[in-house]
Structure 1
Amino acid sequence: MGTWDVGPFDNDAAADFSVQLDEAAAGQRAELLRAAMEQALAAGYLEVEEAQEAVAAAALVAAQRPGGEPVDPAYGPKAPIPLVGTELAELAVRVLERVGLPECELAELWADSGEEERWRERLARLRAVLMGGGC
């Protein structure tokens, strides 16, 4: 699956999404986050790459919230993401809930990996930050 750990940027799709964000104009970056998350929410069956991009987008939103973890400089975007509002935070919470459902290929792959608990804990930490609960 092109994944090396449970972090939101520890996979090929998120690393590619980071490059896309870096190549976009500063004013377009927040819209790219929104688009990745909305695409994931609109999918019937959520494919792994779309889910990984959406989780990366949610992690970038969470990084701006109190208690949010900084983005991994090795695989995350290098260019700054403009400040986003609560609307994207609410969207990010919905995305993190969506990727944990059975209709998501990413959830299936983590269930088969033996590392599902660690992955779900990571999603839960991001969700808590987005909801104002800190780390």
Structure 2
Amino acid sequence: MGTWDIGPFDNDTAADFSYRIDAAPEANKAAVLLAAFEEVTGTGDEYLDADLGVEAIAAAALVAAQCPGGDPVTTSYGPKEPIPALPTALRPPAVAALDRVLGAESELLELWEESDGEEWKAGVLRLRAVLAR
């Protein structure tokens, strides 16, 4: 995975995920985001692949952008097409997915902990806080 910064779309996997979101019809964009959350939470206690975690964080950032206090996704690596109003029902699955990414048996967390990942982790926790309100 090529990573150039700590933001939700600052890596190759998330940038590729944004293409999948753009390719989805407007009515299906929420389902694409939900699928990213369910892929992460559906792994149970198994070791969580970093790419799944990256996609869940990117999806969570898009949901959080529509929450009170959420930051807009302005990076050029995010979706180019507008994201329609998303159902608030996406927030709990997003929180659960972020909890899984930050929990035990998460490759993405391990990779960030090998470097100075505290700023990355703080960013994910900020997303979680916005979504959990």
TM-score if structure 1 supplies the norm length? 0.92
Cα distance between partner residues in 2 of 1:72 and 1:51: 20
Distance 1:83 1:46 in 2: 29
Q: For residues 55 and 73 of structure 1, what CA distance do their matches in structure 2 show?
A: 14
Q: 2:102 — aligned with what?
A: 100
Task: Tell me the equivalent position of 1:8.
Answer: 8
Segments of 4+ moved more than 4 angstroms: none
Alpha-carbon distance, 1:59 to partner: 0.7
Distance 2:105 2:84 in 1: 32
> Offset of 1:23 from its aligned partner?
1.3
CA contact (8 A) 2:40 2:56 kept: yes
Unaligned runs of 5+ in 1: none
Which residue is equivalent to 2:70?
Answer: 68
Cα distance per residue 1:8-65 (max 9 Å; x no partner): 1011111001011111111111100000110011122110111100110011100000
The root-mean-square deviation of aligned C-alpha atoms, in Å, is 1.0
Corresponding position of 1:84 = 86
* Offset, 1:109: 0.1
Structure 2 CA distance for aligned equivalents of residues 46 and 80 of structure 1: 30
Structure 2 letter corresponding to 1:119: W
Structure 2: segments with no counterpart, 5+ residues? none
Structure 2 partner of 1:24:
24
Cα distance in 2 for residues equivalent to 1:68 and 1:96: 15
Q: In 1, distance between residues paired with 2:83 and 2:98? A: 20
Give 2:127's aligned amino acid: L
1:81 CA displacement = 1.6
1:81-121 deviation per Cα after TM superposition (whole angstroms, max 9, x unaligned)? 2222222011111111110112110000000012x210111
Distance in 1 between residues matched to 2:19 and 2:88, nearest whole Å: 25
2: CA distance, partners of 1:31 / 1:131: 20
Equivalent residue for 1:124? 125
Provide the secondary structure at the position in 2 that maps to 1:76.
coil
- What is the TM-score of this pair, normalised by structure 2? 0.94
- Count of residue pairs the alignment pairs up: 131
